[in-house]
Chain A
């Protein structure tokens, strides 16, 4: 819960792509803090390997990942690293798609997922414009997994785990308007491309990216609408409320049935 440092405030984070050295402190911190597993088959993937994965290296146990691209800059091949995670949209499509309220937008900024409310319908995955949410297909009790922006830390006034460990200042965190101002200051100071990715994309998000090479060269989704996405999903859901709830009830029932009698206890 918010405390005196955070009450009534909204927070955001900045990824300054040219300052990222690809050390992956951030993704290790995410694993440490969230207790995520190291999966043998993915442990030794390199940032370049991840850059060609359809999901850019986001898996149920990998909520953030570093991808490496080799775009040209001033006629020479160069290396750039991009941190990927949930954008924590201002008006999140996942939240409005989730009729059982397993996804929630926190007042401080994070978009969180509460598995105890999830019925497993996976509408959220379809709704997310950035293909962030990963379903635990292999699990007996599957859930939808994604970055939580370290909501308990944020609520206490601490930076998300990943931001707190970044050794170069590539990650910057604070109140959202300060972060945006810092993004614009860095763009001006370093002659970056005049675009804060996330400021308007998907109707505005809490994670911003700035870069000195075109975003399109690093697999950013540059065709994403700037209109808040729920305005689409809401009308869709409004037109089919009975089907929506009915289908969800079926899924929820199946879910309980499927898991009945299995011993998943410690």
Chain B
């Protein structure tokens, strides 16, 4: 039956005849009604649909997982098409048991729905109901605006994911095709976040060395708190702000790679090329939905603050996930597979193997150890530090001990997945100071299976994780330079602009501070035991 109201209730021939018949014999109907005949429950309206069988059990019976996560309409990262939702409970499963976010608070909520924006639920949702918030229109508008100079950066793990959207095997590195696609889309300059990752290592590594030596200062006060935590994962950072606000001092003040180069495009790059920073629109391609949240943090406008110019837009204007980039390429009718490989803009695109492995769990740690060795000893790290196998692999918690002359044995820890982080954090909170440096990524196995990467299986599979991770280490192995501090573009950046890691200007543009979100939730009174 088609009507102008669109697809309406399918009224079967039988029920229609029943209806007309009943109404036609009007007297009889009214008479029947008058007799007070009780309609049985199965003549009630509705009940013509379907429910997952887990719910078709007597009331009060246990059901493994119920319902779905709550997503605030103003969540900057994820959204949901409820029409596709089948109430399977997979999002609750990952949010609660893998990320230890859902249900890790007392109800009622205070002023917001608790979410750290990791986007893992977009991978677990079997029906594709939960997705990233699509911002491709904003980027197309900027590209089509002749007044805007649109720059783009692409994160380490995006190149080992994007190919899957165009039929390449899992884990194929399509870096140079991706650069080409970005130019083809009309971006005015294409940069590589691998460069930014090298820069992060310089700032974060120097900070670590200063903390170890007891001379670190940030925001006008001494902060030599150890262990130092990585701060490049915005999901993890928000998790600390919610659940471990007392450990905020442990977080490195260094911004994430995305947020380090964001302001540099609007300052350093703009100055070199004589571009009005007010015209620069900065886009980043990320494997991550939490990066959308990070870019929208109000303090992420250092370029505008440095120049004292409110007309300079936020350091990163729009974040697109890899899935959105694929959509953009398809929307613009670009045949990805036929593109000719090109290079990106080298001034902020040159990178080392150390920057490339940021996308794998343990990668930041490995890169940091290489440069920390150099910063402490003044000597190049031994090749043994180029294969720190203890911190590689898919395990949720990994440890290593590194001998650095002058600093002795340095113990480090690498965590991915926030339920795993909880276990380690509880030890730190209890006073465990055995580690000097702890790397945490919210997404299990790191950014290569971040919440914005192609959905290759639902839930995510270790096979795909292993392939993508292997591709990242391959880049490192084949790189000419493997230490961040050897990156000539980084050296030039310090020589020509920032002076040295931790300089006043570097502090202003490349470091940040964090806010406790303790008042946004009531931490659960009884902590459930977490897995390790």
| A residues apposed to B, CB below 8 Å | 1, 5, 17-29, 31-38, 40, 43, 46-48, 63, 76-80, 99-102, 104, 106, 108, 110, 112-117, 119, 138-141, 143, 145, 148, 150-159, 161, 163-168, 170, 173-174, 212, 245, 248-249, 252-253, 255-256, 259, 264-266
Contacts and interface: CB of A to CB of B under 8 A. Distances in A.
Contacts of A259: 20
B314 to A, nearest CB: 25
Contact of A116 (B22, B60, B85, B113): B22
A189 B56 CA distance: 31
A118 B36 CA distance: 14
Nearest to A11: B59
A131 to B, nearest CB: 18
6 contacts: A22-B113, A116-B22, A151-B41, A154-B41, A155-B41, A166-B66
Nearest to B24: A256
A158 to B, nearest CB: 6
B10 interface: yes
Contacts of A1: 40-42
B110 to A, nearest CB: 6
Contact of A18 (B55, B63, B107): B107
Contacts of A26: 67
Contacts of A23: 67-71
Contacts of B56: 158
A21 B113 contact: yes
Contacts of A29: 51, 55, 87
Given A79-B113, A101-B32, A138-B5, 10 more contacts: A19-B108, A32-B49, A79-B111, A104-B39, A112-B44, A117-B29, A139-B3, A143-B45, A167-B92, A266-B12
Contact of B59 (A63, A138, A152, A158): A158
A116 B18 contact: yes
Interface residues of B, number: 72
A154 B73 CA distance: 33
The 7 closest A-B pairs by CB, nearest first: A34-B46, A25-B67, A167-B67, A35-B49, A151-B41, A112-B44, A18-B108
Interface in B1-49: 1, 3, 5-13, 15-16, 18-20, 22-24, 26, 29-30, 32-33, 36-49
A77 B111 contact: yes
A110 B44 contact: yes
A214 B38 CA distance: 39
Contacts of A114: 39, 43-45
B57 interface: yes
Contact of A255 (B23, B33, B67, B73): B23
B320 to A, nearest CB: 21
Given A21-B107, A23-B69, A167-B92, A139 B39 contact: no
Residue of A46, A139, A157, A164 ringed by the most chain B CB atoms within 10 A: A164
B108 A33 contact: no
B308 to A, nearest CB: 33
A46 B109 CA distance: 17
Given A34-B49, A43-B83, A80-B108, A265 B44 contact: no
A108 B89 CA distance: 29
B112 A79 contact: yes
Interface of B: 1, 3, 5-13, 15-16, 18-20, 22-24, 26, 29-30, 32-33, 36-51, 55-60, 63, 65-73, 81-83, 85-87, 89, 92, 103, 107-113
A63 B29 CA distance: 27
B424 to A, nearest CB: 27
Nearest to B38: A104
Nearest to A103: B39
A63 B3 contact: no
B107 A150 contact: no
Contacts of A158: 55-59
Contacts of B113: 21-22, 79
Given A100-B30, A256-B23, A164 B83 contact: no
Contacts, number: 229
Contacts of A245: 30
Contacts of B15: 116
Nearest to A39: B6
B24 A34 contact: no
A152 B41 contact: yes
Contact of B68 (A25, A140, A249): A25
B85 A28 contact: yes
B29 A5 contact: no
A107 B502 CA distance: 75
Contacts of B40: 1
Contact of A28 (B5, B13, B20, B82): B82
A100 B29 contact: yes
A101 B39 contact: yes
Given A104-B38, A115-B19, A266-B13, A33 B29 contact: no
Contact of B73 (A46, A139, A163, A170): A46
Nearest to A117: B33
Contacts of A168: 67, 103, 107
A22 B70 contact: yes
A150 B40 CA distance: 12
Contact of B22 (A104, A117, A140, A143): A117
Contacts of B87: 25, 28-29, 32, 165
Contact of B49 (A17, A33, A78, A154): A33
A168 B214 CA distance: 47
A253 B27 CA distance: 11
A24 B69 CA distance: 9
Contacts of A101: 32-33, 36-37, 39
A242 to B, nearest CB: 13
A32 B86 contact: yes
Nearest to B15: A116
A139 B46 contact: no
A214 to B, nearest CB: 14
A37 B107 contact: no
Contact of B66 (A31, A155, A164): A164
B68 A167 contact: yes
A24 B15 CA distance: 31
Given A33-B47, A155-B41, A78 B111 contact: yes
A126 B3 CA distance: 28
Residue of A19, A33, A256 ringed by the most chain B CB atoms within 10 A: A33
Given A35-B49, A163-B59, A24 B44 contact: no
Nearest to B91: A23
Contacts of A19: 107-108
Given A100-B33, A104-B38, A76 B46 contact: no
A113 B44 contact: yes
B107 A76 contact: no
A33 B46 contact: yes
A264 B47 contact: no
A4 B429 CA distance: 54
Contacts of B81: 43
Given A164-B66, A166-B67, A264-B11, A148 B44 contact: yes
Contacts of A47: 73
Contacts of A113: 44-45
